[in-house]
Structures are given as structure tokens and as C-alpha cells.
Amino acid sequence: MNRKQRIEEKLKAALSPILHLDLVDESYMHAVPAGAESHFKVLVVSETFENIPVIERHRQLNQLLADELQGGLHALTLHTWTPEEWYAKGGAPESPPCMGGSKAR
């Protein structure tokens, strides 16, 4: 099982029921070898986020994915929304280009 699949399974198990989950491997945008699975953008919409501040939602996901973060996952862009926020925003914003150096080929 690859990193993306592990992350998806952990998020689904912890945040069920999830209204929407989008996990994008953005490693190709960074100076890492092909197949690194080191940079991900997460958009997760769940009723479990109701009445929880955004910082606490992010802490929850960082704790949930602690093993991945200690095992090579370098960056997570988190969009943790309630259903109401999802309908108001409509989708995750585009990620900015990497500013950390030239891309590895």
C-alpha cells in the first residue's frame, strides 16, 4: 500500500462519515525525486469539524498522520471544512508553486 492509500484510509476511518475527501500528491511540484510521495494537499469535508476551530482540526490531522510525517511525508496543505464551509467555498484553492529550489529531474 502506498502513502496516499494509507493517508486516505486513516482519514476515512477517523473522520467518518466524510462528505468529501480529495487527496492530491503534489510532490511533482517540488524538488524531490519522482515517486517521492512527500507533499500532499488534503481537502476533507466532515461533520466532525462542526464547532471545532480550524487550528484544532489541523492538529487532529497532524496527530492522525504523525507516523507518515515522521516517515518521509514532508508537507501537508490542509483544508478541513464543515459541509457548510464546503458549499460556501466550492473547492480547494490552487497550490502556489514551490519556492524551495529547482525541481529535481
Buried b / exposed e over 71-105, threshold 16 CB at 10 Å, is eebeebebbbbbeeebeeeeebeeeeebeeeeeee
pTM for this predicted structure: 0.81
Which pLDDT tens digit goes with each residue over 7-43?
A: 999 999 999 888 999 999 888 777 776 766 778 899 9
Q: Would you list the domain boundaries of the chain?
A: 3-85
pLDDT at 54: 97
Q: Tell whether the model's pLDDT for residue 74 goes beyond 90.
A: no
The rounded percent of the chain whose pLDDT value lies above 70 is 87
pLDDT at 96: 67
| Domain 3-85 of CATH type 3.30.300.90 | yes
